[in-house]
């Protein structure tokens, strides 16, 4: 039962964000092309369960792709990164503390996760780390999808010379940018968390600061 709850929680926090983000993009696209959608004879009120499931799967793919493509171009990256002045300022304003340079050796994400699995650390620490990572993914995915939706709502009506929903665009850009900033902050919190764990000697039960750190 506990394993089922864990899997459901991971789906709720991460994979559901891809579906919601993808639906946001697809919904914006459908709205911008509403004349073309209507000419195809698509009636949203008559969606079958199979078609609804297919739509959710398509939305998942779109949300996942948008978030990872945004990561490739450096907007919504979920990998460890070296923060600049602006991101450090955001972190300081959010947490009240200055961010510290991190160095936990080797492959900073995957190798260290393997190392964590061998450490005698309390169960609460991986849970706290998982929550940070989940919130980071949610922020990055939804933020990048909202920004793309705003671009769609601007570019397609502009090409069609139709009315532009400026209020929806402004809301999407503002909320998307705020979510991306929160994703950067959560990413920095995750890296600080990694560094704190790496700096502790977990060879004893309680854990003490390593002498060489």
pLDDT-derived band at 176, boundaries 50, 70, 90: very high
Residue 198 lies in a domain: yes
pLDDT per residue as tens digits for the range 1-54: 555 555 555 566 678 889 999 999 999 998 888 755 544 445 556 667 777 788
Helices within 43-123 (DSSP H only):
49-72, 85-95, 110-116
Number of domains within the chain:
1
pLDDT at site 171: 95
Q: What angle do CA 19, 131, 125 make, to 5 degrees?
A: 155
Which is nearest to 146 in space by CA: 182, 184, 172, 166? 172
Q: Which residues are CB-neighbours of 46 under 8 A, at least 6 positions away? A: none
Q: Tell me the pLDDT of the chain averaged across its residues.
A: 78
Residue 146 lies in a domain: yes
pLDDT at site 60: 92
Residue 11 lies in a domain: yes
pLDDT-derived band at 202, boundaries 50, 70, 90: low
pLDDT at site 54: 85
Residue 60 lies in a domain: yes
Q: What is the mean pLDDT of residues 49-71?
A: 88
Residue 164 lies in a domain: yes
pLDDT at site 52: 75
Strands (E), the chain: 200-201, 208-209
Residue 174 lies in a domain: yes
Could you give the CA distance from residue 141 to residue 69 in angstroms, rounded to a whole number?
Answer: 10
User: By percentage, how much of the chain surpasses pLDDT 70?
Assistant: 69
Q: What is the mean pLDDT of residues 188-194?
A: 83
pLDDT per residue as tens digits for the range 114-173: 555 556 666 667 677 788 888 898 999 999 999 999 999 999 898 888 888 899 999 999
Residue 213 lies in a domain: no
pLDDT per residue as tens digits for the range 85-120: 898 999 899 888 888 777 655 455 555 555 555 566
Residue 171 lies in a domain: yes
Domain coverage including residue 140: 2-208
Whether 210 shows a pLDDT value over 60: the answer reads no
């Amino acid at each position: 039962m506990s394993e089922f709850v864990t899997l459901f929680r991971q789906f709720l926090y991460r994979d559901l964000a891809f579906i919601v983000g993808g639906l946001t993009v697809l919904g914006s696209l459908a709205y911008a092309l509403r004349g073309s959608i209507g000419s195809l004879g698509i009636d949203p009120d008559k969606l079958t369960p199979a078609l609804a499931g297919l739509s959710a799967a398509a939305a998942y793919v779109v949300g996942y792709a948008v978030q990872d493509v945004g990561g490739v171009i450096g907007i919504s990256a979920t990998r460890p990164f070296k923060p600049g002045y602006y991101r450090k300022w955001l972190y300081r304003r959010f947490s009240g503390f200055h961010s510290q340079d991190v160095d936990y050796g080797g492959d900073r994400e995957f190798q260290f996760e393997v190392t964590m699995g061998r450490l005698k650390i309390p169960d609460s620490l991986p849970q706290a780390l998982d929550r940070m990572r989940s919130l980071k993914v949610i922020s990055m995915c939804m933020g990048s999808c909202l920004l793309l939706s705003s671009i769609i709502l601007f570019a397609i009506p502009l090409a069609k010379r139709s009315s532009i929903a400026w209020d929806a665009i402004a809301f999407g850009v503002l909320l998307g940018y705020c979510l991306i900033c929160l994703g950067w902050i959560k990413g920095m919190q995750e890296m600080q968390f990694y560094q704190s764990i790496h700096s502790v000697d977990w060879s004893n039960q309680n854990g003490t600061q390593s002498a060489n750190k």
